Amino acid sequence: MNTVRLTAAQAIVRYLIAQRTIIDGREEPLFAGVFGIFGHGNVVSLAEALYPVQDELPTWRGHNEQSMALAAVAYAKAKRRRQIMIATSSVGPGSSNMITAAAAAHANRLPLLIFSGDTFQHRFVDPVLQQIEHFDNPTTTVSDAFRAVTRYWDRITRPEQVIQSLPQAVATMLDPEYCGPAYIGLPQDTSAEAYDYPVSLFEKRVHYIRRPGPDPRDVARAAEILVAAEKPLIIAGGGVHYSGAVDDLTSFAEQHGIPVAETVAGKACLVADHPNFVGPLGVTGSTSANALAEEADVVLAVGTRLQDFTTGSWSVFRNETMTLISINVGRFDATKHQAVSLIGDAKVALTDLGDAIRGYRAPEAWLRLGAEERAEWYGYLDRFTSGEYEVPPYAQVIRAVNEMCDPEDYQVSAAGGLPGELNMGWHSKSVGSFDAEYGYSCMGYEIAGAWGAKMALPDRDVICWVGDGSYLLMNSDIYSTVMTGHKVIFLICDNGGFAVINRLQVNTGGEEFNNLLRTARHERMVQVDFAKHAEAMGAISEKVTTIAEFREAFQRAKKADRSYAIVIEVAQYDWTEGGAWWEVGVPEVSDREQVRIARAELEAERKHQRRGI
């Protein structure tokens, strides 16, 4: 057997470079690059292995371990899981900083490969700098904290373990059902140790994502239910994008006259003016989609895990005879809520189901009702365009950008009030142009995610929507976008704190407390100058106060040669209305009358929940 002597770190890098994928008919690297912050644990061995191959596997310097890993998550999402980014850090806090990003990848079913340093296996020098010691188990390190938030976990304790571990990590990240983050801990001594690896390990391998089909018996059962439907509704989830099944879903809906609602992850499956589109569904959804969900007798959920924001905590489906059919490549997601399950790839399953119901078409009156409800919803949104406000609400800013942006511009947001406002108010101009990280609702994703998305989509403008709260939490990748030449347009909407949580607090009977900056404990209120801050990191920036000024600034941002930040104050109390109910834990006992009223309202709404499914 032909062998080559390499350190464990060198073998890892050589193996990763050999992995390839096919995108739009072209062979590309499966691993497009590495986000890295070096320290003891990865700078001596892994960095040394990465240095000679920078043209094949570029390394990008991060400025926060969490944010660089979040950038990798956004990259994978923009690439529809066809390409993967790597994140690496040192031992200790550098490693634990990436746990949140791993959780975001896990919740969103997205691939992310994490390498972090670990303590010495020989233990002679314990405790090393940044080591957390467990008195009852010396094998436990920070690496173990990743077990709860990764799909694949390993610690390399001998260099030859790489031969078995790496293919398993890759297979997990490319598995359509189990896709998620993979973590590999690299003890400092092991990563530097050498082994005679088989040359065959480093031969080029071209990967693809499997397309398993549903069982024909499940297709027949689902078809029997669907052809009897008078008011069917399709829910398009993120899996439609990952499967590449947008055209298939669109054709299915058109041929059978079925209205389509979207989840947050499924947004931009259909463009906003498509005749079958009835709007976003759920808590941050539209009156139009929610109205149809209330009456639907059959719901065909495609590629969605049916999060509570989608189902209105399972209160949006009011028809007691409603049957749920779930198409999902994952058995766990497909069998939730006693659904009639089609376990398989969305593209394959839609084709099989379409063949089985050939000739069926929903009543025309049902699709007309969807069009009427959507027209009323769009009319409501249009009022924000011409409305007069002392301080513009989110919705007015969103409508302004929606009118001015190019169809292919890619929107990025996460957490706070913006995802809901964008989900409700954004009219998708093109397919696959929207990323609101709402699976984990991770504050800090916005700026980092925009950097990763721009890497993935270099020929498109990436527009980052970020509130003042998330900006203060994690902003260093504005500098990263400038430093690396990945231009992003940052729209910084300042509402003086966590205004959407303040809204939830007040709406459930609570007193305004610790959410808006002015209601938090303080001695001196300081207005943060976000424009100057972004400028200090190299971006072109300006602050505007009116929508007219904002429109002019946005045009300048589109023409700029580097990242551009526009800061605008938005209203604290003006919100887009129309979403469904959401269950939160309102106290059963309280001295406040408002809380007792909110609890009574909770009990009344819970009567609409479909607890049997």
Tell me the per-residue pLDDT of 313-334, one tens digit each, with 9 for 90 and over. 999 999 999 999 999 999 999 9
Query: What letter would DSSP give residue 254?
Result: H
**pTM to 2 decimal places:** 0.97
Q: Would the pLDDT of 486 be above 70? A: yes
Could you tell me the two tokens for 488? 């992003």
CB atoms within 10 A of CB 606: 14
pLDDT digit string, tens, across residues 393-424: 999 999 999 999 999 999 999 999 999 999 99
Quick check: 612 pLDDT over 70?
Answer: no
Instruction: State the fold for domain 216-374.
Output: Rossmann fold (3.40.50)
Give per-residue pLDDT as tens, 533-555: 999 999 999 999 999 999 999 99
Grouping H, G, I as helix, E, B as strand and the rest as coil, residue 266 is coil
Vertex 306: Cα angle to 301 and 308 (nearest 5): 145
Average pLDDT over residues 572-580: 95
Residue 365's contacts (CB-CB under 8 Å, 6 or more residues apart) are none
Contact by Cβ (8 Å): 162, 11:
yes
Let me know the angle formed at the C-alpha of 72 by 332 and 428, rounded to the nearest 5 degrees.
75
Q: What pLDDT score does 387 carry?
A: 80
The whole-number pLDDT of residue 203 equals 98
Rg of the chain, C-alpha, whole Å? 25
Distances (CA, A) of 326 to 168, 390, 556: 29, 46, 46
Q: What pLDDT score was predicted for residue 386?
A: 82
Count CB-CB contacts under 10 A for residue 140: 13
Whether the predicted pLDDT of 613 surpasses 60: no
**Which residues are CB-contacts of 264 (< 8 A; sequence separation ≥ 6)?**
280, 284, 309, 310, 419, 423, 436, 438
> Would you state the structure tokens that stand for residue 600, as one six-digit string?
């009574």
Query: Are the folds of 3-207 and 216-374 the same?
Result: yes
pLDDT in tens, 20-69: 999 999 999 999 999 999 999 899 999 999 999 999 999 999 999 999 99
Give the CATH H-level superfamily of domain 3-207: Thiamin diphosphate (ThDP)-binding fold, Pyr/PP domains (3.40.50.970)
- Average pLDDT of span 414-443: 97
CA separation for the pair 519, 322 (Å, rounded): 45
Q: Which CATH superfamily is domain 387-569 in?
A: Thiamin diphosphate (ThDP)-binding fold, Pyr/PP domains (3.40.50.970)
Per-residue pLDDT band for 156 (boundaries 50, 70, 90) equals very high
d(CA 323, CA 600): 30
| Distance separating alpha carbons of residues 284 and 233, to the nearest angstrom | 18
Map out the domains of the chain as residue ranges.
3-207, 216-374, 387-569
